[in-house]
Amino acid sequence: MSVLELCRKQGIPVPTLCYHPMLEPVGKCRLCLVEIDKSGKLVPSCVTPLKNGMKIETNTERIRKTVKTNIELLLSSHPHECTTCESGDRCELQKLAYMYDAKGKFPANPKEENKSDQEEAVDKSSPSLVRDMNKCILCGRCVRACSALQGMNILGIAGRGDTSVPETLFNSPLNTTDCINCGQCSFYCPVGAITENSSVKEVNDLLHDKKQKVVVFQTAPATRVAISEEFGFEPGTISTGRLVTALKRLGADYVFDTNFTADLTIMEEGSELLDRIKNNGVLPMFTSCCPAWINLVEQSYPELIPNLSSARSPQGMLSSLIKRYWAKKKQIHEKNVVVISVMPCTAKKDEAKRKQLTLDDGSQETDYVLTTRELGKLIKLNSISFASLPETPHDNPLGESTGAAVIFANTGGVMEAALRTAYELGTGKPLPTLDFQPVRGFTAIKEADIDFNGIQLKVAVVHGAVNIHEYIKKMKAGLFKHHFVEFMVCKGGCIGGGGEPKSISDDYLLKRMQGVYKIDNILGVRKSHENPSVQALYKDFLQKPLSHTSHKLLHTHYED
């Protein structure tokens, strides 16, 4: 344990910028300074190992002065655009500047003298992210997230000293690299140097002038246990009903639930798995709901495209159903419906733009994607007091869901939900226990064997892109032989998505995960095939899983 970890555990405040509990410490920003055993030397506590009997000073005059100077040094080369910066009130540098009263005489915009360099440093090429390297403070958190957590190495520190900056190879625009849009770099950025490519303005304008449009929102499983963090609540606080009320107050005409199509995904994907097993189809079959995972396969492992389930993600399924089925039933022209999804994920913005997920006229089925963070901003912008909102249920019929759907948010959740249904439909018996522990928790690669009437079904769950690379390497070497594998690119699954609130406590992922399982436990119906609205949809419209209509509306294809 480091000195900093002890301090955090004991609740002793120590300022940090380059440190994040999920990343390897590097001792770069020189803000977490402490003095050990009155040695007269200040050392960064994040890389100082704890020793028995150590005397640690965290708050001497010298420490306070040095930390303040180091913050002022950062501010001297940082643009003063705090009032308009996307990072807003979650900027860690801004908070520290206020706390340490860092008020040096700084140039208003230190890089002003060279406007073209300044503009060149802003990369807006990605559908998911914006990189403004003028605001970079060189903490290296984005680089560590991209390399150590994701194994992607899209960003690296280029140059030396004052001119060094995290860059892509040859400083190419992000959309020309193999970036998978996971947004982990934006999640870990403590300032506004990497942010989501925001749709807040367009959505806000639309909500204030709907121009006869019917505005329909959909809410992803993971958003309901994280949105409240934007308003100061503990991670994992369940806010499903308040989330719906907030969207209605913002002007939503309908709020449907992505969880509904998570249940539908289980019906389609589960049937596809049983079909592949029965008919010697391509195995292992891979889940297809994580859009950054799809990007990874298409860009880096195209030979594995046949292994991907053809089922669209729940976001893709729901937008398709809203425009192609529900709107028709309501006698609303699909062109007059605007679908906005609220997602924990920046890659969903990229998914929404896939040409496979457009209407016949080429318009997007999902018109806008807001991350959980963006929704927090939109709610604040419209002076809605989230904490005091009453609860409203989702609209139906595309808003009814089960416990199996909500656990999609956690690593292992898609697998557990699939097993609850596939086991019962395949064997005629329910799973001995619905809480399927072998696929739960934060172990990088989880494996389980399930006895399917004498056939051993071998499954695995992998989360975090760095572990996915490892899994694929071993699978290709013949070390893994599974029938069905769940892949989620972010650590913890969607609860750790790149668009989730930027919590920095040590246990925010665990708390979100527990919140999700709590919802599953309190819901009366916990198996996707028992969702009455899903059953009715098959009866009235889709007929059966993998039917012609299902294929048209709920499935997709991939391209390298």
- Nearest distance from residue 444's CB to ligand SF4, in Å? 18
Q: Do residues 380 and 237 touch, judged by C-beta distance below 8 A?
A: no
CB proximity list for 77: less than 8 A, separation 6 or greater: 110, 111, 162
Residue 179 touches which of ligand HC1, ligand SF4, none (CB < 5 to 8 A by kind)? ligand SF4
Measured CA to CA, the distance from residue 154 to residue 299 in angstroms comes to 13
Does position 294 interact with ligand HC1 (CB under 6 A)? The reply is no
- Three-state DSSP at 6 gives helix
Residue 196: its H or E element: strand 194-196
Residues 336-355 as x/- pattern, contact with ligand HC1 by CB under 6 A = -------xxx--x-------
Q: Which two tokens stand for residue 233?
A: 């609540």
Nearer to ligand HC1, 2 or 503 (CB): 503
Sort residue 128 into left (φ over 0), alpha (ψ -120 to 50) or beta.
alpha
Q: Do residues 534 and 404 touch, judged by C-beta distance below 8 A?
A: no
**One of 18, 133, 220, 321 touching ligand HC1 (CB under 6 A):** 220
**One of 137, 226, 289, 439 touching ligand HC1 (CB under 6 A):** 289
Residue 180 touches which of ligand SF4, ligand HC1, none (CB < 5 to 8 A by kind)? ligand SF4
Closest CA to 497 of 182, 127, 227: 182
Nearer to ligand SF4, 224 or 491 (CB): 491
Does position 216 interact with ligand HC1 (CB under 6 A)? The reply is no
Nearer to ligand SF4, 145 or 414 (CB): 145
Q: Which stretch binds ligand HC1 (CB under 6 A): 1-9, 41-49, 256-264, 476-484?
A: 256-264
Burial grade of 209 (CB within 10 A; 0-12, 13-18, 19 or more): exposed
**One of 74, 145, 345, 389 touching ligand SF4 (CB under 6 A):** 145
Q: Which stretch binds ligand SF4 (CB under 6 A): 116-124, 151-159, 239-247, 468-476?
A: 151-159
Nearer to ligand SF4, 7 or 189 (CB): 189
Nearer to ligand HC1, 193 or 494 (CB): 494
Buried b (16+ CB within 10 A) or exposed e, 339-370: bbbbbbbbbbbbbbebeebeeeeeebbbbbbb
Kindly identify the residues of this chain, within the stretch 178-197, that bind ligand SF4 according to CB under 6 A.
179-185
- Nearest distance from residue 502's CB to ligand SF4, in Å? 14
Does position 192 interact with ligand HC1 (CB under 6 A)? The reply is no
- Nearest distance from residue 244's CB to ligand HC1, in Å? 15
Does position 371 interact with ligand SF4 (CB under 6 A)? The reply is no
Nearer to ligand HC1, 221 or 545 (CB): 221
Q: Which two tokens stand for residue 557?
A: 């294809």
Measured CA to CA, the distance from residue 268 to residue 549 in angstroms comes to 12
Residues 153-172 as x/- pattern, contact with ligand SF4 by CB under 6 A = -xx-----------------
Nearer to ligand HC1, 426 or 498 (CB): 498
* Strand-strand pairing, 194-196 and 285-286: unpaired
Describe the strand order of the beta sheet including 337-343 as a list of residue ranges.
254-257, 214-219, 337-343, 368-371
- Token look-up 């999804």 returns 341
Integer angstrom CA distances of residue 298 from 151, 243, 281, 438: 16, 34, 20, 29
Kindly identify the residues of this chain, within the stretch 92-131, that bind ligand SF4 according to CB under 6 A.
129
Rg of the chain over Cα atoms, rounded to whole angstroms, equals: 24
Residue 315 touches which of ligand HC1, ligand SF4, none (CB < 5 to 8 A by kind)? ligand HC1
Kindly identify the residues of this chain, within the stretch 192-251, that bind ligand SF4 according to CB under 6 A.
none
Q: Which two tokens stand for residue 266?
A: 């289980």
Q: Which stretch binds ligand HC1 (CB under 6 A): 96-104, 433-441, 493-501, 532-540?
A: 493-501
Measured CA to CA, the distance from residue 338 to residue 533 in angstroms comes to 23
Does position 75 interact with ligand HC1 (CB under 6 A)? The reply is no
Residue numbers at the binding site for ligand HC1 (CB under 6 A): 220-222, 258-259, 262, 289-290, 313-315, 343-345, 348, 408-409, 493-494, 497
Residues lying near ligand SF4 in the complex (CB under 6 A) are found at: 129, 145-146, 150, 152, 154-155, 179-185
